[in-house]
Amino acid sequence: MTQIRTRAAVLRAMGTARPYADSRPLSIEAVTLDPPGPGEVLVAIKAAGLCHSDLSVMNGDRPRPLPMALGHEAAGVVERLGDGVTDLAVGDHVALVFMPSCGHCDPCAGGRPALCEPGAAANGKGELLAGGKRIHHDHETLNHHLGCSAFADHAVVSRRSLVKIDPALSFEEAALFGCAVLTGVGAVVNTAGVTAGQSVVVVGLGGVGLASVLGALACGASPVIAVDLSEDKLALARTLGAVQTVNAADPDAVDQVRALTRGGADVAIEMAGSVRALDAAWKMTRRGGTTVTAGLPPADATLAVNVVSLVGEERTLKGSYIGTCVPSRDIPRYVALYRQGRLPVDRLMSGTIGLDDINAGFDRLHAGEVVRLVVTF
């Protein structure tokens, strides 16, 4: 089969000066894709969300091999199937998931595909799950971003990076389920195991943090408290159902949350990607409570924890990657909750842009002006 000609947003250097609209770290390039190999699928991308995980690669907080075709939160249509892919058909609508799962390693066999060892190794090397790279620019081979490289008209991905979705769901909405919703709602449902009546505080109200607010409300948590530096995001959280909001810049923010929850929240969830925010979330958690973080600060960031409190108060501190999700199980469940009106994910969308405007879009994301901008194709 012949190669596929397409366009992709390519990152060639990290740490470029802002504003990105001027420095243009993402160049829109004509590239070619190898046809899908065994166990792989060619997807026509229809929508892709701008996420802080993309931004952290651009600014160097999360180094990845370069040059790289960026983008990991997306939805599209199956255009071509590689050998051995029998459970999808051309024309199926799919959401992309940024951690492929082999199904055979110890974490996968134990029901924790978010920790797939071959998947993590492939992502770290900028390869697909089966090994190797499928994106080329002239005579240069480009790296894949988390097995997706979704800021592009087309992508070749592993079948293990795809979940079939209801075609009635708009692509703009569907894209959010592969990252923001899986991570944010999953951290509440799977990692923390929130139950009805528990108090929950969410620190950091980007797309993932606001998805956590929605997830806590869907679980029947009470009260649900939202914490952020942005008054606009705090206002949005209130419209979504957060009964109380606290500005993280207030010197007594921790004391406010502890007062609202009579000594601290049962569950505190940190989504800001900041050690300072995680420290605040830890201090907002009650005795015997659970602090969950899915934020990704720079790789050398560390947190100081008082061990006596950890032991004497039977505290729990947990990391959450992709919301401890089983994507093939959880995406359909979360879509069903959305259909029932219990998980209004569409409220997280800040608008749509074209691929040529992606650098300016990341400026807006960095400035905190938007929750989720979506590139449409």
Q: What is the pLDDT of residue 133?
A: 98
Q: Are residues 19 and 168 in the same domain?
A: yes
Using 50, 70 and 90 to split pLDDT, how confident is the model at 299?
confident
CATH of the domain at 84: 3.90.180.10
* 51 lies in the same domain as 127: yes
Query: Which candidate, 227, 186, 176, places its Cα nearest to that of 204?
Result: 227
Identify the residue with better confidence: 2 or 72. 72
If asked whether residues 297 and 357 sit together in one domain, one would say: no
Do residues 102 and 197 share a domain? no
Q: Give yes or no: residues 296 and 339 share one domain.
A: no
C-alpha span between 14 and 57 (Å, rounded): 7
28 with 164, same domain?
yes
> Does 3 or 78 have the greater pLDDT score?
78
In the structure, what pLDDT confidence band is assigned to residue 42 with cuts at 50, 70 and 90?
very high
Number of domain units in the chain:
2
When pLDDT is cut at 50, 70 and 90, the band that residue 296 belongs to is confident
If you search the block for the tokens 């070749």, which residue do you land on?
A: 156
Judge whether residue 39 has pLDDT over 90: yes
The one-letter code for the residue type at 275 is: V
Return d(Cα 200, Cα 57) in angstroms, integer: 30
The domain containing residue 199 runs over which residues? 193-319
pLDDT at 193: 98
Q: Which CATH number fits the domain that encloses residue 293?
A: 3.40.50.720
Report the pLDDT averaged over residues 229-241.
97
What was the pLDDT predicted at 221?
Answer: 98
pLDDT in tens, 202-233: 999 999 999 999 999 999 999 999 999 999 99
Average of per-residue pLDDT values in the chain: 97
**Which of 295, 319, 343 marks a domain boundary?**
319
CA distance 376 to 370: 16
Q: Tell whether 21 and 80 lie within a shared domain.
A: yes
Q: Is 315 found in the same domain as 223?
A: yes
Considering the domain architecture, whether residues 162 and 202 belong to the same structural domain is answered as no
Residue 354 belongs to some domain of the structure: yes
| 188 lies in some domain | no
| Domain closes at, from 319, 345, 365 | 319
- Spell out the residues 6+ positions from residue 276 whose beta carbon is closer than 8 angstroms to its own: none
CB 169 within 8 A of CB 92: no
14 lies in the same domain as 153? yes
- State the pLDDT at residue 1: 65
144-171: per-residue pLDDT in tens? 999 999 999 999 999 999 999 999 999 9
The Cα–Cα gap between 368 and 271 comes to 14
Q: Is residue 185 a part of any domain in this protein?
A: no
Asked if residue 139 and residue 33 are part of one domain, the reply reads yes
Residue 234 and residue 176 share a domain: no
Packed helices 275-283 and 253-260: angle between N→C axes, nearest 10 degrees = 40
- Chain segment 275-293, per-residue pLDDT in tens: 999 999 999 999 999 999 9
Per DSSP, the chain holds a count of helices (H) and strands (E) of 13, 18
b/e burial code for range 39-73 (CB count within 10 A of at least 16 → b): bbbbbbbbbbbbbbbbbbbbbebbebeebbbbbbb
The pLDDT of residue 2 is 84
pLDDT value of residue 298: 86
Instruction: State pTM to two decimals.
Output: 0.96
